[in-house]
Structure 1
Amino acid sequence: MSKWVCLLDYISNFSNTVVLLSGGTDSSFLTYACTKAKTNVIAVTFSSMLVSKEEVDAASKVARAFGVPHHIIDSDDLNVTEIRQNHPRRCYFCRRHRDELVKSWLKNLEPEKFVVMDGVTASDVGEYRPGLEAAEEDGVLHPLKEVGLEKWEIRRLAQEFGLPFWDKPSSPCLATRFPYLTTLDEDEIARIAEAESCLMSMGLSNVRVRSYHSGVAVVEVAPDDMEKAWALKDNIKNALFSVGFSVVALDLDGHKSGKMDLLMGGVRHDSV
């Protein structure tokens, strides 16, 4: 059987599912698959200082498009000490915190009848993902991983099915813009979110604005966008000055995932 058929077969074993819908390609594709498997599916999205408004809006749009009930849960992530301190295992503590929020929310819905699923893929195995460790401890299922679907296969299938998010760039949590062990500050996070939104409005893709030091912005764009970014350097500078940065630099290496982990000695986290 094809992996797509295997995925539908896997999901159909469960009558009631909760999908943790981030708004990214993988969790959006899983939500779509749940509707095709005829399971009763509810989508849950976390709203947090560490998640851009655009991502929450994207998740809502996906749920509406598929006719799936959608619940947004406020997650006070920065009240968790390890998250606030940007601990190297921040993702583990964040995932445990959010899984507890879902369990608490499910108490109103006969929780024993529901399984919780996320968009973890086969490509995620073997990477530095402490959040995955926490999810497994909490009993969250990973259908895409279980049937062996890798990220490129999910994008290909999504494109074949005419799903508009097939080529959506990844957008990891905003804590990844700061070095580990840097105390996260609400104003600094909001500044990063606004800066990235400005740059994306200029037509730049896969944008990251890293803050290695307060007031200093290091802009990363996709390698294919480097020439465009250089041509827009004055616009970029002015936009980032306007949101509160005093120094703006362009990373000549372009966007490469895992930069903050490399600073910690080469540990790889492929989604930052």
Structure 2
Amino acid sequence: MAETMAGTEADLARVLSRHAPLVIAVSGGVDSLTLATFAGRIAPVTVAHAVSPAVPDEATRRVRRLAAQEGWTLQVIEAGEFADPDYLRNPLNRCYFCKRNLYARIRSVTAGVIAAGTNTDDLGEYRPGLAAAGENGVVHPYVEAGMSKADLRGLAARLGLDGIASLPAQPCLASRVETGIPIRAEDLAFIDRVETLMRAAAAPGAPADLRCRLTRDGVRIETSEALSDATLARVTALCREAGRSWAGVAPYRRGSAFVARGGR
């Protein structure tokens, strides 16, 4: 295993050397933070992080902390997707419009090669953002090096990014809104508030997969562990305070708000 991983890292290093000068689009999740850390320990690296109502504040704080620690050149930009009516109407391919705006904004501030944290596991999923990446010449070093999600988590651990290596999947807050329900900044702020509350209340070491979904039936909590009565009471109280319908609790299921019932 050690020899295999050493070879994988050597492959990734060779891929990165082909794409200099590199600008890494960093969201604040394990994939892009690991890529930036690995690249930055080989050569100086520029990192672009986009802020918007769809990006949790904690993700931005995580990027800033690691940038200061690792000595990256950090460019924080406005993502710009909230000025795009195609994005706001939340169609099935919403991610395409999000990434189209993101990469255009990054391109406006740099001439470097834009790299993303896409890994081989992502290629088997519906990822409309990959089309926007292709249109903007974005490269995917993990894919070129044949690295999966498990591979990059192992790399993160070897780089000493222990807290980051174990981060759960953290897609943008807009992914919690059922397809076809318009994206609104106040809805995303509510989602972030509820999920922050639930994470804080979770038992140490408990499974971290949880989502606050906005559906046509109301707010639905999805979690891979049982909510305590106290946490459930606090969540339902937040819903009442915000004037939102309560749709109950269900087991966590990845992407369950992505497609609305009855079509797009």
TM-score, normalized by the shorter chain, greater than 0.5: yes
- After TM superposition, list the pairs within 5 Å mapping 1:57-206 onto structure 2: 57-106=61-110, 111=111, 114-163=112-161, 164-203=163-202, 205-206=208-209
Q: SS of 1:125's equivalent?
A: helix
Q: How far did residue 120 of structure 1 move?
A: 0.4
> Structure 1 residue 230: deviation in Å?
5.2
Quote the residue 2:252 is aligned against. 255
Which shows bigger deviation, 85-94 or 9-18? 9-18
The match for 1:209 among 207, 212, 221 is 212
Task: Give the secondary-structure state (helix, strand or coil) at the position aligned to 1:4.
Answer: helix
Shift in CA distance, 126/247, structure 1 to aligned 2, threshold 3 Å: closer
- The 1:265/1:245 distance shift into structure 2, 3 A limit, reads closer
Query: Is the contact between residue 240 and residue 248 of structure 1 (CA under 8 Å) also seen in structure 2?
Result: no
Structure 1: gaps (5+ residues): 268-272
Given the alignment, which residue of 12, 16, 25 partners 1:20?
A: 25
CA distance in 1: counterparts of 2:51 and 2:67, whole angstroms? 15
Per the alignment, residue 270 of structure 1 pairs with none
Q: Distance in 1 between matches of 2:219 and 2:231?
A: 16
Look up the SS of the partner of 1:12 in the other structure: helix
Assess if the C-alpha contact under 8 Å between 1:198 and 1:239 holds in 2: no
Structure 1 residue 161: Cα displacement: 2.9
- State the 1:49 CA deviation: 1.1
1:7 aligns with 2:9: no
Moved more, 41-50 or 180-189: 180-189
* Mapped partners of 1:178, 1:207: distance in 2: 14
Q: 1:141 Cα deviation (Å)?
A: 0.7
Query: Please, what TM-score do these two structures have when normalized by structure 1?
Result: 0.85
Whole-Å separation in 2 of the counterparts to 1:266 and 1:155: 35
* Identity score, percent: 26
SS of the residue 1:71 aligns to = strand
- Matches of 1:88 and 1:248, distance apart in 2: 22
Preserved contact between residue 23 and residue 48 of structure 2 (Cα < 8 Å): yes
Corresponding residue SS for 1:217? strand
Query: Once the 2 structures are TM-superposed, how far is the Cα of residue 236 of structure 1 from its aligned partner?
Result: 3.1
Structure 2 residues not aligned, in runs of 5+: 1-5
Mapped partners of 2:149, 2:240: distance in 1: 36
> Which of 218, 221, 225 is the matching residue for 1:219?
221
- The CA deviation at 1:37 is 2.3
Q: Where in structure 1 do 4 or more consecutive aligned residues deviate above 6 Å? A: none
Task: Compute the RMSD of aligned alpha carbons.
Answer: 2.2
Task: Name whichever of 176-185 and 121-130 sits farther off.
Answer: 176-185
